[in-house]
Structure 1
Amino acid sequence: MSRIPPFIWFILISFLAGWATLPLRKEIQPPEQDLSELDGLGQSVIIGSLGGLRALAADFLWLQTNYYWQQENHGLTETTARAVTRLQPDYPFFWIEASRMIVYDMPVWRFSKDRTAPKTVEKRIRREQAERGLELLTEAAKFVPDSPAIPAEKARIYWTVLDDPDMAQEYYRVAYEKPPHPPLYARLRAVILIDLGRYQEAMRWLTQVLATMDPNSSPAQYSLMESYLYDLRMGQNPREESDDPIPRFSAPMAPPPVAKEGTDS
């Protein structure tokens, strides 16, 4: 008589535990999310039956995902990573890490280590994988709409993979406007606007951000954006080491006054 695989025991025990604790969970847990948007009713029933063990199942599958990732197994890595996002859809970490595997790692696996893919093929594969990653992040936004990390990750893909800085700056704007308003995303949007030659728009953006930002919340980011704005107002491009002038849109900003000792600033 053949032995029952351990994974089958895990599913059976999880199902029974979820069923047995259902009355208690209804009292102590908030309403569960509607899983109908996931991949079919069958998967929804299985995930729902796990109940409080969904986190445990997600951790188990994430370990499996990392194992398949180390093996460079394209199909199983993506399958298990997507399954984790369905078990724990409220955690941006899983969505973002899954998308990074799809966008940045899997194209390299598809090229294979034994040969160098032609540039046209490499570009096509990278675009295909980037689009799959963006689709996953779009789905993530339905479950974690308040997370600034999701649009920021989309911005990164548009900027570094798809070479679409205009879409990237727009998603960085969306990311920054979500609490807690991470200043890094505001600065990256300014960087892209400057690189695109949209200096006036960059100045307006930096002025808006600095006017509402607490300098003590992120001194490094505040200082960098302040220096960008100063250079732009002086007619210089803060992104270039050379002193090539750029169109000046306002009078140069005077250096801040130096506070004298013994006086209140």
Structure 2
Amino acid sequence: MKQLAATVLVMAASALTTGAMARQEGPGPVERPSVSAPVLEGITIDGDLADWPDSMTIHSLDKLFNYDGSRQNFEDLEGTDLVEPDDLSAAFAVGYSPGEQLLYVAVIVRDDALIASSTSNMTTDAVELFVDGLRGDRQVAHREDIALPEIPVQQYIAIPGDGPVYGLPEPNNPVLTGGDVTQTKTRMAFHRDEDVTIYEWAIQVFDRYPDRPTTLEPGKRIGFDVSVADEDLEEGEVGPGGATQMNRLDWIYWGPQWNGVKHLNADLLGELVFEE
């Protein structure tokens, strides 16, 4: 674990040292990892973390899900240095406001190539946040017409550019899968400096969208996960070995091992515990 401001500076530096970012301890995937969320007040969502306390604990995204067009690969990155490579490393910090009833999340991404595309989920860098106010284990089968409030997990998605997001019809950035983000208090801003992009979020959490928002209070536990999508090729570009943007996309994430669609299965999330 590292302090927030120090980690941003380390990740932005041209020369990085091994182990600069914390990893989960213990071998193999961790079931329902849990972190504490301290009280945060006076946060402005502008992509600048200057108003976040330096003492904030950060947590690395140390698991990998890769889709290469023909197969899906699941890999535990325990023991792998995600900071040294130029390509991709990420971490997050989290807190909450009892007064505003908002979850605050800062996602710090070091990526050598920033790509923001509005075409689809396979053509862009992105950040995805998953929250479940009930911290449940409910799951539903995928179908084309599924929408909130049937979906057990709220999935908020943002790209580092203008909307639309993932080729969806609404022009918003961020978006809420199966719902209308404009009917929530959720908002996001991003800022890029050299090869580091910061996504700053205020998230509204629901027990059931849209009529039962979650009460954020000390001792409350909610389901939570964060993932970062990394696309390295611009549209139409051909990479080494003939790879194109449509057959190479990586997600790194924090929570339990990726096993199906996270927003359809609340049991695939970790948890946040709200502090006094």
TM-score (norm 1): 0.22
TM-score (norm 2): 0.21
Based on CA coordinates, which of the two structures has the bigger radius of gyration? 1
Q: Specify which structure has the bigger relative contact order, considering alpha-carbon pairs within 8 angstroms and separated by 6 or more residues.
A: 2
- Structure having the higher strand fraction is 2
- Structure having the higher helix fraction is 1
